[in-house]
Homo-oligomer: A and B are copies of this chain.
Amino acid sequence: MTEQTPSLVLPETERTRHRRLSEQGSSSRADLDAVLKAGFLCHLGVVVDGTPMVVPTVYGVEGDTLYFHGSVASRSLVASPQATVCLTVTHVDGLVLSRSVFEHGVNYRSAMVYGVPRAVTDPDEKLAGLRSLTEHITPGQWDYARRPNRKELAATVLLALSLDEASVKLRSGPPEDGDGPDAELGVWAGVLPLNATWGALEPDPLLAEGIAAPAHLTAREHQRLG
C-alpha cells in the first residue's frame, strides 16, 4: 500500500482485510465512493435467529453516511438493534471469457460496508436523510415530488450506516490466459460487456393530460447507470 493521507485510505479491520484475490482489493476511499455513487441498490445482510438473511433495498450516500430504509430488515433490527450488518453493492461490468473454463470470471466493482446501523429518529435529521436517499437515487426529485408529511415521516424507518469500515473489490480488463499455454488453443477470448441503461420514461396510465415529464427525469433517458 502506498502512503496516502489517512482520509484517502480505508482503515483495515479483521473483516475488511482482503484475503483472497488480493490484487482485486482496493483500500482507496475514492474507489469506495465511486462504487457507491454508481448505484442505488444494495444487498443488506443481517442475522435472524442465527441464520443470515440477505435483502435487496435502495440506499443513498451523503458524506460518510449511507442511508437506507430499515423496514426491510425490521425482523432483525427489532430483535437485535445493536447488531452489525453487512451492506454490499455490486456492479457487474461484463463476463471475462478466457480460453479455459477455469479462468472464466466477471468484471465487477463491489463495496462491502460493515457497521451497526443507527435508527434516525430526529424529524429534521430524518427529513435530511430521506432527501439524501431520494437525491442519490433520482437527483432533482426531492424538489419536484411532494415531500413526506409528518405522518409519512413517522411511518418511515430510516437507518444510517457509517462508511468507517468498508472494503472494495474490483476486476476489469481482458482475460489473463493470453500469454499462457492455452493461447495456442485457437479459442476466442475477450470480454462480453454488460451495461445498465435507463430506458424511455413510461408515464403512469392515470397521469392527467398535459403534465410533461420534468427535465431532471428526461435527462436520464437512455443514459448509462453510474
- Chain A interface (Cβ within 8 Å of chain B)? 15, 19-20, 41, 43-48, 50-56, 58, 71-72, 74-75, 83-88, 90, 92, 94-95, 97-102, 104, 106, 108, 110, 112, 114, 130, 134, 137-138, 141-142, 144-149, 152, 155-156, 174-175, 178-179, 182-183, 185-208, 211-214, 217, 220-221, 225
Q: Known: A47-B51, A56-B108, A88-B54. Contact between A198 and B192, CB under 8 A?
A: yes
Copy number of this protein in the oligomer?
A: 2
Taking the closest CB of chain B, its distance from the CB of A58, in whole angstroms, is: 6
A134 contacts across to B, CB distance below 8 A:
101, 104
Q: Known: A41-B92, A147-B101. Contact between A53 and B15, CB under 8 A?
A: yes
Q: Please state if B174 and A190 are interface contacts (CB–CB under 8 Å).
A: no
Closest to A211 in B: B188
How long is the Cα–Cα vector from A94 to B199 in the complex, in angstroms? 9
How long is the Cα–Cα vector from A102 to B121 in the complex, in angstroms? 17
Closest to A74 in B: B20
Residue in A58, A95, A148, A175 whose Cβ sees the most chain B Cβ within 10 Å: A95
* 29 A-B residue pairs with CB within 8 Å: A15-B53, A43-B45, A43-B90, A45-B45, A45-B53, A45-B54, A47-B51, A51-B84, A51-B114, A52-B53, A52-B86, A54-B87, A56-B108, A56-B110, A97-B145, A97-B217, A100-B148, A100-B152, A101-B141, A102-B146, A145-B187, A146-B182, A146-B185, A178-B207, A188-B207, A189-B206, A192-B201, A193-B200, A194-B198
